[in-house]
Each structure stands twice: as structure tokens, then as C-alpha cells.
């Protein structure tokens, strides 16, 4: 029995796909092991959102060679689709598979035998237009939380982004298939499902036609027994409708937590980025959420240093974010990507300024998060505890994404418990007081 190990770079979507591909290998008789357990086959699922992700891929290949110089190394994912020839020239790489081929990995490379001596890697990467099939995927690595892919690809031509080139056009699973997958996840004892995709608000496109909607999907998922929580990973502001917000507010299982990409608080920069909204719409979305769910957690994606972002426009964006009733930021530093329109935009922001702006927003994010946590003190929440222990403590997240720390108790793992928010500790985690209620097992 050959041993296979996986390493995933990038987003939650990649994790869901790695897990599903891993199950394909197990079904074919392979033994799935950890990366450092001298596997015969290394599968590296790559990201290409930033230059740093590309460098990480090369480093993981080097580590694989150290662990087992005779191991077979196959690269899949976004970087593999965008730069197959470049990856094939990395010493130690044996195969590169594109977006249309990665789910056929176990059948396309049936022997996984490493050729002796130096040899060119096998490239199995067709044009991105051939990536038209949809593959249901969900992670099962964490028994507390599962990432369930509901949509893939994107039709939005944002100036800075290579995702349409790496993943193809927008396409989705059916509502029926997603519900079936959620029921399968529930049968395995998982309590929380995170819905993920490239542009999940665009859910419903099958065979090039819009056949269903994201609202229809979440209404059906809300009826799935056995899952305590559904969490929406990220949704574009122009696709986050009043109806979706109102449904989540009244939902039995969807939690009060939204992650909504903004990218810039300057309308001029949003225009340069080719985003499909202005900041006024974003303000309206936040106000609508907070009017129905005052304790809702709202996360925001922001890009700093995009071409054309002057110091004045950055400060305009910073001020907008500072005044917005949000809970935390995910800050991305712009990096040049081939085949994007952003690389032709002037002026270019020096990398030192990009770093300074990133630092400012990271500090702002910490302030926003702490303020949000402080607003929760004295209230109650329900924590789903995870199977991770550090310094004798375990942690978990509440429905509105407050991270809670308590003394380790194995009985709490993968269980939900009502708590009072007591105070923040020195690490910024919420210390809690347990209620009189018993552990709620759903």
C-alpha cells in the first residue's frame, strides 16, 4: 500500500478540495499519512493570490525532497493552472495538473513512479476554458467544522485578480447536491459547516445558465438536521441582498457572522479595481445587518497599495474603515500578477509604502476586534469547542465569531455550551463564566 500525503496552501476552498481528493486516494487503496511520515507521494495544492504563495510552493517541494528524495511530487491548484511550465522546472517536481485535471489525479497518474535522474515534469494542464465541470468538495479534517464548497470560478474581471484565469468561469453545484453533502457531513458528527467558494453569492449557475439562487440554497440548508451552525465564508456586497440578510437574522442555523470583501474605502480606487459597487452600498449593507443583528460579527477584506492608490486615497479608505461598524479586517498587500489589467495602472505604489499601509490597517483591525469583543462583555453566547489544546487551555468560537478560552476538558470537544462573556484576557481572548445549563448536544 503506497502512502500519500497532502499539503494545502491558500484558502478554505483549497482545503475542501484537498480533503475530497484525499478521500479519492483512500478509496483507491492508498494510505493517507502526514507530510513528515515519509510518504511515497506528495500532493501539493497551491495558491497564487500573492507572490509569497508562489515562494511557499517552492519551499514545500524542497521540504518534500528532504523527507523522501524518492517521493513522487505532484502539484495542483491555482498556481499549477497559471504557471505549469514554471512549476515543471522546479527540481523535484514530477507532475503538474491544471484546474480541469486535478480531480482526475488518481486516475491520470496511475503508477506514481519517479523516473530516475533529472527529467522534465509531466504537465497535464489544459486551457482554463476546459474547466467546466463542477466537483463537490468538503473537508473532513476537523471534526468540529467542515468547509463545504458550493460554487467555483468567477465571472468578475477585477483588475488585480487572477482567479478567473486559475479557476475558470462561475459554476455551481445544485441545491439538492449541496443538501445531500450537508446531510453526509452531519452523519459524521460535525457540528458546523462553513459554506465556501470563489464567489458564493453567484451560486446557481449550472451549464452556463442561472438555475438557482443562493437564497434558495440557504433556505434548504437551514432545514438540515444534525448541523448546529452554518456560516457563510465570504460574500460580495453587491450580491448580499436584503432578503439574504433578513433570512440569516431569522434563521434557525445560520449564524450572525458575515465576511464581506470591500478591498478599498475609496470609490476612485474601487473603480480602478473594477469592483461592482461603490462604498455607499457597502455602508448600506453594514447598516442593514446591524439593524437586524446588533451583535453580528462583520469581517472585511481590504487590499492596500493597489496601483493608483495615492496617499490621499489610502487615508480616505482608512477613515472610511475606521468609522464603519465592523469587527475585523483581512488585509492583503497588493502584488503584481501577470495577465491582469492592474499592472498597467499608474502610479505604482512603492513596496515600502504598501508595507506601511498594511501595518496601519493591521493595527486598526486589532482595535476593531478588541472593541467588538468589549461590546460583548456581560452578554451570553454559545461556544463550539475545538480539539486544540495550548498551555492547558482549549478554545472555540461563538455563533458571532468571538473566540473563547477555557480550561481543557475533553468532554467539551465538539460540543456547544452556553456561556457568559466575563472579560478579555491578556491575549485578547474572551474569558467566560459557565451557565447553569448542561452542555447542549445537537
Which pLDDT score is estimated for 286?
98
Q: Which pLDDT score is estimated for 142? A: 57
* Three-class secondary structure assignment of 7-54: EECCCHHHHHHHHHHHHHHHHCCCEECCCCCCCCEEEEEECCCCHHHH
Closest CA to 121 of 89, 77, 98: 89
Counting as low any pLDDT under 70, the low residues of the chain are 49-51, 53, 117, 141-143, 435-442
- Domains of the chain, CATH where assigned: 3-130 (3.40.50.12160), 137-375 (3.80.30.20), 377-434 (2.40.50.140)
The pLDDT, as a whole number, for residue 51 is: 66
- Which residues contact residue 104 at a Cβ distance below 8 angstroms, ignoring those fewer than 6 apart? 97
- pTM here is 0.92
Element (H, E) at 384: strand 380-390
Return the pLDDT at 143.
Answer: 61
Q: What is the per-residue pLDDT for 99? A: 94
Residue 305 to residues 341, 349, 410: CA-CA distances in angstroms?
A: 15, 6, 45
Three cell numbers written together for 75: 502539484
Amino acid at each position: 500500500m503506497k502512502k500519500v500525503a497532502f499539503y494545502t496552501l491558500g484558502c478554505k476552498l483549497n482545503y475542501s478540495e484537498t480533503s475530497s481528493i484525499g478521500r479519492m486516494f483512500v478509496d483507491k487503496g492508498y494510505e493517507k499519512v502526514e507530510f513528515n511520515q515519509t510518504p511515497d507521494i506528495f500532493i501539493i495544492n497551491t495558491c497564487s493570490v500573492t507572490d509569497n504563495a508562489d515562494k511557499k510552493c517552492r519551499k514545500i517541494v524542497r521540504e518534500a525532497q528532504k523527507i523522501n528524495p524518492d517521493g513522487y511530487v505532484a502539484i495542483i491548484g491555482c498556481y499549477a493552472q497559471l504557471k505549469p511550465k514554471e512549476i515543471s522546472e522546479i527540481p523535484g517536481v514530477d507532475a503538474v495538473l491544471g484546474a480541469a485535471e486535478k480531480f482526475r489525479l488518481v486516475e491520470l497518474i496511475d503508477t506514481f513512479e519517479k523516473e530516475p535522474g533529472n527529467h522534465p515534469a509531466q504537465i497535464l494542464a489544459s486551457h482554463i476554458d476546459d474547466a467546466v465541470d463542477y466537483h463537490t468538495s468538503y473537508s473532513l479534517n476537523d471534526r468540529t467544522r467542515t468547509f463545504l464548497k458550493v460554487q467555483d470560478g468567477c465571472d468578475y474581471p477585477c483588475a488585480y485578480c487572477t482567479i478567473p484565469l486559475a479557476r475558470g468561469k462561475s459554476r455551481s453545484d445544485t441545491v439538492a447536491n449541496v443538501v445531500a453533502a450537508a446531510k453526509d457531513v452531519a452523519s459524521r458528527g460535525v457540528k458546523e459547516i462553513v459554506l465556501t467558494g470563489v464567489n458564493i453569492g453567484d451560486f446557481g449557475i449550472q451549464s452556463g445558465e442561472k438555475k438557482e439562487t443562493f437564497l434558495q440554497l440557504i433556505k434548504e440548508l437551514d432545514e438540515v438536521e444534525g448541523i448546529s451552525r452554518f456560516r457563510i465564508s465570504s460574500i460580495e456586497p453587491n450580491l448580499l441582498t436584503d432578503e439574504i440578510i433578513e433570512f440569516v437574522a431569522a434563521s434557525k442555523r445560520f449564524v450572525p457572522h458575515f465576511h464581506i470583501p470591500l478591498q478599498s474605502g475609496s470609490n476612485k480606487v474601487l473603480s480602478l479595481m473594477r469592483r461592482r459597487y461603490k462604498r455607499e452600498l457597502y455602508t448600506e449593507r453594514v447598516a442593514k445587518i446591524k439593524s437586524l443583528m446588533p451583535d453580528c460579527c462583520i469581517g472585511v477584506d481590504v487590499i492596500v497599495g493597489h496601483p493608483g492608490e495615492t496617499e490621499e486615497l489610502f487615508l480616505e479608505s482608512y477613515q472610511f474603515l475606521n468609522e464603519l461598524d465592523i469587527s475585523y479586517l483581512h488585509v492583503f498587500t497588493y502584488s503584481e500578477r501577470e495577465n491582469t489589467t492592474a499592472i498597467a495602472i499608474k502610479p505604482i505604489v512603492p513596496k515600502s509604502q504598501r508595507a506601511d499601509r498594511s501595518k496601519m490597517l493591521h493595527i486598526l483591525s486589532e482595535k476593531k476586534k478588541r472593541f467588538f469583543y468589549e461590546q460583548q462583555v456581560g452578554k451570553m453566547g454559545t461556544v463550539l469547542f475545538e480539539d486544540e489544546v495550548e498551555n492547558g487551555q482549549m478554545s472555540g468560537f461563538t455563533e458571532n465569531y468571538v473566540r473563547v478560552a477555557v480550561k481543557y476538558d475533553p468532554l467539551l470537544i465538539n460540543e456547544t455550551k452556553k456561556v457568559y462573556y466575563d472579560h478579555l484576557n491578556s491575549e485578547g481572548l474572551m474569558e467566560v463564566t459557565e451557565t447553569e445549563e448542561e452542555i447542549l448536544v445537537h
